[in-house]
Amino acid sequence: MLAALALAGAAALVAGCAAQQAPTSTDPGTTDPGSPPVAISGADPAPLDGTLLQDLRVMDQVAAEGTLVRWLEPGVSIAIVLGGSGGGGECIPQPHAAALEPTAPSIVVRFDPPNPEVMCTADFTLHGWELALAEPVDAATVVPVRLVNMQGTEDVVETELGPDDVLESAVPTADPQPSVVPGTPPPGAAEPEEIPEPQLPGFDELLALPDPNVAVHWAEPGVSLAVFTIGSRAAPVCNAVPQAAWSTGPGTIEVAFGPNDYQGDCPADGGVWGWVFTLPEAVPATLDVEVTVTGTTHDGQAAVVTVAPDDVYPLD
């Protein structure tokens, strides 16, 4: 009997020590930032409306911030926009559903990183998603956001959403801009300014270019373009008429020339002409821009020229 009591006492003592050693709480500082234990996930990401990604303000914000996080519907859903290969897919980070940590509340979005073994195009396009939250949060307060594993190293990008951090294109305006028909200069487009002949490039330089022999450079990066064509110096009335330049979307610009009204004979001489086309609104110039020049030839052939950020033509 005494032996049995001794064994029972020893067992109780061991159990008591184990109870004292058991943790009573979890230190939130040791929680994996990408896997919060109490997070609840919202709906699967849905692609953003393409018109939202064509807004130049969004392009400016992505160029400045890298990855853009904004309210789409404050307190209900967020928008994530990033730039990358036009092919998308495994060439860019792909978000999972937004996880909501109710303790803050805070939002955590995990990503599948790009696959380095996939062949990707070198162009740059905006990609965006809408991530609906599992339940509404108070958008009148500052809500922390963490983006996890975008590079595949469990990296964490921390940002936050304030009451005014709404995707600009999603904000209705009282006076929306009128639609612009492709190929038609928008209202208020600036008149091109002719470049003086001493500042023009050599004729042979343009002649060496593919048809229709058009050269395009920045005059002022993001603000204006220097465009050069071949035409008659003896009879300028025979040449195409420069009209305007404007942005047609993220990373794309159109420069339009129109036909002349001259009905007479034109000489066969050739010379270089140049103009500075100022854009109606400045565009980001930190990446290559694709410029399409139309109307310089009678057969309707367009020139497509890629202009790099540092491709600036020197003008006095």
Residue by residue, DSSP assigns 176-216 as PPPP--TTSPPTTPPPPEEPPGGGSPPHHHHHTSSTTT-EE
59 and 111 in a single domain? The answer is yes
The whole-model pTM stands at 0.48
Q: Residue 65: pLDDT band by 50, 70, 90 thresholds?
A: confident
Residue 204: pLDDT above 70?
yes
In a domain, 276, yes or no: yes
Residue 47: pLDDT above 70?
yes
pLDDT score, position 183: 55
In a domain, 281, yes or no: yes
- What is the mean pLDDT of the segment spanning 82-107? 86
Residue 174: pLDDT above 80?
no
In a domain, 3, yes or no: no
In a domain, 27, yes or no: no
In a domain, 216, yes or no: yes
pLDDT score, position 28: 39
164 and 42 in a single domain? The answer is yes
| End residue of a domain, out of 116, 139, 170 | 170
Domain that holds residue 267: 193-307
What is the chain's mean pLDDT, rounded? 80
Q: How far apart are CA 105 and CA 103, in angstroms?
A: 5
Residue type, 300: G
207 and 272 in a single domain? The answer is yes
In a domain, 70, yes or no: yes
160 and 119 in a single domain? The answer is yes
Ranges 24-33, 35-44, 140-149, 182-191, most confident: 140-149
Give 222 or 316, the one with higher predicted confidence: 222
Residue 146, φ and ψ in degrees, nearest 5: -125, 130
10 Å Cβ neighbour count for 14? 10
- Cα distances from 130 to residues 44, 56, 73, 78, 138, in angstroms, run 9, 19, 10, 6, 18
CA-based diameter of the chain, in Å? Answer: 128
256 and 155 in a single domain? The answer is no
pLDDT score, position 32: 53
> What total number of domains does the chain contain?
2
| End residue of a domain, out of 139, 170, 201 | 170
Residue 9: pLDDT above 60?
no
162 and 199 in a single domain? The answer is no
- 82 token code pair: 């990033």
Residue 73: pLDDT above 50?
yes
Q: Give the position of tokens 């995707």.
A: 167
In a domain, 292, yes or no: yes
- 6 token code pair: 């001794």
10 Å Cβ neighbour count for 150? 23
pLDDT score, position 160: 93
Give 52 or 135, the one with higher predicted confidence: 135
pLDDT score, position 7: 36
Is there a contact between 147 and 109 (Cβ–Cβ < 8 Å)?
yes
Q: pLDDT tens digits for 106-147? A: 999 999 999 988 888 767 788 899 999 999 999 999 999 999
